[in-house]
């Protein structure tokens, strides 16, 4: 029998809504990703590639035949190294105090205090990373009348760097000083340098390049060796000159505990003053023209930008670390909660099987199959339903298909009711089937899904409990061949089904999947049918039932085999619709957060769980990936890999337990590590896209899913003897019917039960009186666009 229903489109909110796919946010995300990556690379380079260490770490020097003799035997201040090198000596009875490696927030202020109390000035050779971290100290150094020189940006041995790295080190330090204090300096002290006679050929190449960049190199004549912490007396001995010759004294105001330096300096300055020495900056000590000048406006702005970017990088790394640990804690917490809940759910169900849900439910069931261009799989779906061991009436609602779906079903000449209507969308098709159903219990199944013989009987048994308004079945992936199929199979078993056990236990089930779900017809009619205001009509409907006081449960024994997307593009479209529709449903039912009873459980348990683990946690996933890459490059890669392996082990343990619960072979779990590098990124990008779409107020349009024809019709009901779960070559076939109380698989003709397992099979339409129309039922007007099933 075929019925034709014509719906006259009327203007609706959906047709008036401008449907666009936002693109601007991807550009924004790309810019943010590039900016963050650049900041992290710079931050990682400046903080972890080199660093302040003892002055003797570079070991012995090489040959020095390229170093001019006048430099080897000359003064400690070297100019014009690239052309005609000459040096300058410190004036007699003059001491130029110099401090390397700062500024330091603890020791630099104490040294400045000593200098101020004694009314002397010194020269500070600053490290760029320290300038960025403490720009206020650089300003204080300058404000106190002291002189600034540069000591590179990350304190590397310049002789061991490529020329471009040397230029980068000098230029970035100069910009940092310009940004922090508004001055530039021509004074340079290379890290790990000492006196003139210690220069080798590699060092000389550094001085030549520095001279070409406009720098004067300042070495030392006396080294306090305070980095060794030899004691105050030893530092005093190392810094006290012998005779009246002027000296450039090397000390440190950072790089470790400098308490001995501060104590020695407090004693050194008064002692030398008493001996007739005077103290001066390097330039004053050698009679050099002012090497420190105000920075130009442009250079000051560039310096400020550099300081802010690096400070932002430090903040970003701190925030990424916090978010990564938060994501890790949330993931571990979820794993523990889900596994404990699944274990408890299993115990309760096993104990319940002895007494069941109540008296066996034997009443016939209406099965609604909404179909739009489902010719590839509709025959297998219909024949699997006819092979059920429970009495069913099957209603196929053809929603304006253009591929002959309805004609195909009619040509099978099976006891199936076919209703044709103009294309109006899946919710409208479900409502059409709901209006035509003659049974009190209805099962909704997608046109790309096949049932096992006992699925209908199993899924309706919980209705023996009058509180139950809907039952979620166990959807399983049939096309598991290929890597993408395996990954989705893992997700269905580990993710979806473990979550449903938790939701069932917590009485806050948010979704009965469209592939396999059962409902009380009157409960749906009381709600006005299936709503079309979201793209996830199954989630919206389930949440509405929970808020209406109905219990929604999970029956893992009711298995349905569905086609999963076989390409990344198709998977993206499906998950984008799911995620966006779920966000719509969550927003629509947000009032449940403050309600009591069943609605409150949905709100404060179900919605919070969805927000935390299906929205916020995926949004944090990119943070984990970015920080992992940062850690591999700049932190301890062994530790990062160890953390990743620990996280993978946690997922594997969850997977093994979930597969055991579902009676699945654990073989596909070998692909779990690979899932972390493609599938996981796709899933969190879907969430990002969905969130931006929702926030922007754009409306996602419906599209049609691809069908692949991987489903095959079961034996019986006029079908050929074939395997309904035929896989691609090499796919390990699970044993899908090993669960307790499982009926014989319908692909074995020798064990095939009668079509309805002993129940009398009434005529499809004569035995079920049509109930009167429900006053609250509202058939939504059709969409004007092709819908997505």
pLDDT confidence of residue 355: 53
Q: Could you tell me the pLDDT band of residue 250, with boundaries at 50, 70 and 90?
A: very high
Say whether 100 is catalytic. yes
Q: How far apart are CA 783 and CA 7, in angstroms?
A: 10
What does each C-alpha distance from 440 to 185, 364, 391, 412, 768 come to in angstroms?
A: 88, 8, 13, 27, 10
Predicted local distance difference test score (pLDDT) of residue 366: 97
Asked if residue 745 has pLDDT above 80, the reply is no
pLDDT at residue 701 in the model: 52
| This prediction's pTM | 0.70
pLDDT-derived band at 538 (thresholds 50, 70, 90) equals very high
Q: What is the CA radius of gyration of the chain?
A: 38
Torsion of CA 447, 453, 454, 459, to 10 degrees: 10
Q: Which of 175-184, 219-228, 339-348, 694-703 has the weakest average pLDDT?
A: 694-703
Which of 344-358, 484-498, 527-541 shows the lowest mean pLDDT across its residues? 344-358
What is the rounded distance in angstroms from the CA atom of residue 613 to the CA atom of residue 616? 6
DSSP-derived letter for residue 323 is H
Euclidean distance between the first and final Cα of the chain, in Å?
A: 24
Q: Which residues contact 474 (CB under 8 A, 6 or more apart)?
A: 497, 516, 554, 555, 556, 557, 558, 559, 560, 662
**pLDDT for position 731:** 31
In tens, the pLDDT along 618-627 reads 888 888 888 8
Report the pLDDT value the prediction gives residue 63, as an integer from 0 to 100. 86
Q: Is the pLDDT of residue 332 over 80?
A: yes
Catalytic residue among 155, 252, 300, 390: 252
CB atoms within 10 A of CB 127: 29
Please give the mean pLDDT across all residues of the chain.
84
For the segment 349-365, the average pLDDT, to the nearest whole number, is 80
- Looking at the DSSP bridge assignments, the partners of residue 294 are 183
Q: Which residue has the higher pLDDT, 747 or 134?
A: 134
Rounded to an integer, the average pLDDT of 39-68 is: 72
Give me the catalytic one of 47, 55, 100, 226: 100
Determine whether 252 is an active site residue. Answer: yes
Reading the block at residue 63, the tokens are 């040959």
Beta strands in 82-219 (DSSP E): 86-88, 94-100, 123-126, 147-150, 183-185, 187-188, 216-218
Once rounded to an integer, what is the mean pLDDT over residues 763-772?
38
DSSP single-letter state for residue 536: -
């Amino acid at each position: 029998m075929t019925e034709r229903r014509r719906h006259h489109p009327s203007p609706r909110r959906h047709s008036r809504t401008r449907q666009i796919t936002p693109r601007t946010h991807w550009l924004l995300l790309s810019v943010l990703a590039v900016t963050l990556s650049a900041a992290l690379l710079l931050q990682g380079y400046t903080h972890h590639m080199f660093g302040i260490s003892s002055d003797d770490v570079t070991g012995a020097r090489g040959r020095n035949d390229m170093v001019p003799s006048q430099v080897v035997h000359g003064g400690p201040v070297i100019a014009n190294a690239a052309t005609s090198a000459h040096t300058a000596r410190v004036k007699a009875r003059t001491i130029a105090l110099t401090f390397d490696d700062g500024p330091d927030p603890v020791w630099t202020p104490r040294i400045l205090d000593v200098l101020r109390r004694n009314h002397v000035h010194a020269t500070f050779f600053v490290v760029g990373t320290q300038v960025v971290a403490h720009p206020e100290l650089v300003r204080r150094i300058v404000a106190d009348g002291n002189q600034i020189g540069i000591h590179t940006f990350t304190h590397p041995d310049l002789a061991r760097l490529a020329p471009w790295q040397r230029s980068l080190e000098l230029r970035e330090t100069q910009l940092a000083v310009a940004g922090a204090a508004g001055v530039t300096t021509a004074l340079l002290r290379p890290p790990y340098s000492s006196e003139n006679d210690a220069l080798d050929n590699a060092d000389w190449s550094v001085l030549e390049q520095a001279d070409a960049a406009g720098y004067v190199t300042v070495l030392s004549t006396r080294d306090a060796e305070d980095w060794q912490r030899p004691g105050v007396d030893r530092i005093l001995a190392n810094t006290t000159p012998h005779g009246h010759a002027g000296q450039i004294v090397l000390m440190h105001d950072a790089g470790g505990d400098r308490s001995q330096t501060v104590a020695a300096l407090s004693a050194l300055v008064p002692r030398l003053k008493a001996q007739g020495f005077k103290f001066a900056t390097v330039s004053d000590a050698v009679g050099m023209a002012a090497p420190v000048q105000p920075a130009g406006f442009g250079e000051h702005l560039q310096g400020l930008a550099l300081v802010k970017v690096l400070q932002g990088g430090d903040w970003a790394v701190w925030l990424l670390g916090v978010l990564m640990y938060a994501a890790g804690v949330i993931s571990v917490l979820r794993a523990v909660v889900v596994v404990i809940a699944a274990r408890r759910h299993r115990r309760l169900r096993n104990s319940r099987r002895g007494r069941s849900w109540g008296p066996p439910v034997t009443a016939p069931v209406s099965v609604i199959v909404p179909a739009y261009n489902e010719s590839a799989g509709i025959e297998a779906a219909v024949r699997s339903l006819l092979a059920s061991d429970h009495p069913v009436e099957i209603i196929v609602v053809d929603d304006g298909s253009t591929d002959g779906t309805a004609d195909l079903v009619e040509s099978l000449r099976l006891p199936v009711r076919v209703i044709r209507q103009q294309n109006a969308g899946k919710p409208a098709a479900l409502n059409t089937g709901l209006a035509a159903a003659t049974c009190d219990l209805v099962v909704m199944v997608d046109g790309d899904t096949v049932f096992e013989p006992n699925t209908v009987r199993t899924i309706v048994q919980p209705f023996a409990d009058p509180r139950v308004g809907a039952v979620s079945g166990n959807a399983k992936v049939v096309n598991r061949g290929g890597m993408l199929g395996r990954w989705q199979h893992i997700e269905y078993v580990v993710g979806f089904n473990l979550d449903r056990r938790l939701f069932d236990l917590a009485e806050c089930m948010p979704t009965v999947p469209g592939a396999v779900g059962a409902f009380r017809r009157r409960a749906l009619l009381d709600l006005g049918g299936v709503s079309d205001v979201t793209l996830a009509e199954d989630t919206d409907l389930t949440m509405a039932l929970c808020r209406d006081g109905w219990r929604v449960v999970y029956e893992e024994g009711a298995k349905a085999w569905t086609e999963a997307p076989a390409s990344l593009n198709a998977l993206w479209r499906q998950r984008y619709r799911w995620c966006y529709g779920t966000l719509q449903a969550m927003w629509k039912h947000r009032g449940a957060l403050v309600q009591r009873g069943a609605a409150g459980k949905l709100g404060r348990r179900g919605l919070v769980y969805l927000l935390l683990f299906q929205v916020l946690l995926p949004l944090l996933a990119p943070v984990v990936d970015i920080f992992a890459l940062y850690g591999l490059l700049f932190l301890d890669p062994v530790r990062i890999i160890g953390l990743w392996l620990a996280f993978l082990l946690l997922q594997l343990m969850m997977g093994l337990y979930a597969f055991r619960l579902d009676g699945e072979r654990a073989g596909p779990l070998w692909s779990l590590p690979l899932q972390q590098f493609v599938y996981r990124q796709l899933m969190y990008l879907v969430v990002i896209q969905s969130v931006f779409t929702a926030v922007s107020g754009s409306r996602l349009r419906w599209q049609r899913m691809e069908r692949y024809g991987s489903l095959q019709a079961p034996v019986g009901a006029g079908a050929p003897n074939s395997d309904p779960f035929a896989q691609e070559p090499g796919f390990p076939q699970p044993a899908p019917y090993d669960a307790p109380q499982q009926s014989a698989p319908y692909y074995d003709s020798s064990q095939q039960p009668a079509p309805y397992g002993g129940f009398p099979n009434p005529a499809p339409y004569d035995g079920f009186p049509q109930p009167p129309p429900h006053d609250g039922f509202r058939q939504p007007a059709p969409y004007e666009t092709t819908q997505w099933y």
